[in-house]
Amino acid sequence: MSRTPRPGKPDRSESDRAGQARHVPVMLPEVLAALALDRPGLAVDGTFGAGGYTRGLLDAQPEVQVVAIDRDPSAIRAGADLVAASEGRLRLVQGRFGDLDALLADLGEAQADWVVLDIGVSSMQLDEAQRGFSFRQDGPLDMRMGGDGPSAADLVNESDETTLADILYHFGEERRSRAVARAIVEARRRAPIATTAELADLVAGVVRPEPGSPIHPATRSFQGLRIAVNDELGELVRGLHAAERVLRPGGRLAVVTFHSLEDRIVKQFFSARSGRAAQASRHVPGVERLVPKSFKPVTKGPVLPSDSETMVNPRARSAKLRAAERTEAAAPDPLTAIETLASLPAAQGRGTRR
């Protein structure tokens, strides 16, 4: 690890993205070092965003071709200038990184040499009030990265109280999830909850701020809803498996996460695929099975940002980088254990909430 993480700080809060931290790619030198772009080849940036990692990939090795993916159409439009400046080395594709193997196949590419994933919401999305990700600017309660499917307003106004509590507790890690869900249901009986400010004020009336903390009481609830709206953890699971299928032997996968839910999935995936953790049999529950090692570790544990980076870019504070190298083994069946981590548990398995 490059430094000791600071305890007691919620993951990737909105305050982490203030000021000059906007659009700065987190741990770019560490990501490039983990990928080791030392030859011509094809790199995939599964989470294009503002293009920070893509620019780094293009600059690191002049003979590298890059395919960049983003589900947000506004990110694709904003990347047009970078595509033009790349002189044919960059192809920018709208889609979900969980489908990166299929998206590459559509481009006529069967394999890749490097894949990088920067998980979570982008600063651009937070900064646009009309996207509804942030409670610091009032806007419609939307939160959809791709603009399709049910919005946060749909979840808040249509989900039953138990489902809402599960979303806030398991995806947002909100300890007062039951009380928040109850308050939402009571409020929407009077009128639908339509804006970020309405929801933030409602949550703040239930969740007490921690003494001396700059973190808004609604931070965890907004995180939980955003993850649910965009199926972010499910997308991460699919992206890891897709990268495993598409990487050629010797290819490398680097993943930057920003909160414990994401990092737990990445850690368990790499542990299982490198043989450091047993994999249960799908056909005989409780029996371990031998699975070929499809990855070998590149990083020993998570790589953390330096103190100097977090001073310049507070958004990096909660980031963790993990990387591994693809072996010659065929890709095994998907890991059901991490698929479970990405979904809400059954009702009878819910933890204790207040």
pLDDT digits (tens, 9 = 90+) for 70-115: 998 989 999 999 999 999 999 999 999 999 999 999 999 999 999 9
Per-residue pLDDT averaged across 305-330, rounded?
93
Residues 94 and 259: their CA atoms lie apart, in Å, by 25
Q: To the nearest whole number, what is the mean pLDDT of the chain?
A: 85
Estimate the crossing angle of helix 196-204 against helix 177-190, to 10 degrees.
Answer: 130
Q: Kindly state which CATH superfamily the domain 133-230 is placed in.
A: Putative methyltransferase TM0872, insert domain (1.10.150.170)
118 among annotated binding-site residues: yes
Question: Is the domain 14-123+232-341 a CATH 3.40.50.150 member?
Answer: yes
99 among annotated binding-site residues: no
Q: So what's the pLDDT on residue 146?
A: 76
Q: So what's the pLDDT on residue 124?
A: 53
70 among annotated binding-site residues: yes
Residues 49 and 263: their CA atoms lie apart, in Å, by 20
Residue 256 φ/ψ, nearest 5 degrees: -110, 120
C-beta of residue 4 within 8 angstroms of C-beta of residue 25: no
Distances (CA, A) of 300 to 53, 267, 303, 323: 22, 11, 8, 9
125 among annotated binding-site residues: yes
DSSP states along 173-209: --TTHHHHHHHHHHHHHHS---BHHHHHHHHHTTSPP
Estimate the crossing angle of helix 260-273 against helix 232-246, to 10 degrees.
Answer: 30
Q: So what's the pLDDT on residue 138?
A: 77
Helix (H) / strand (E) element for 114: namely strand 112-118
Confidence grade of residue 279 (pLDDT, cut at 50, 70, 90): low
Residue 231 carries which DSSP code? Answer: T
Longest dimension (CA), the chain: 62
**Strand ranges for the chain from DSSP E:** 41-45, 64-70, 90-94, 112-118, 247-257, 279-280, 288-289, 295-297, 320-326
The whole-model pTM stands at: 0.85
53 among annotated binding-site residues: yes
Per-domain boundaries in the chain: 14-123+232-341, 133-230
Per-residue pLDDT averaged across 180-191, rounded?
97
Q: So what's the pLDDT on residue 121?
A: 64
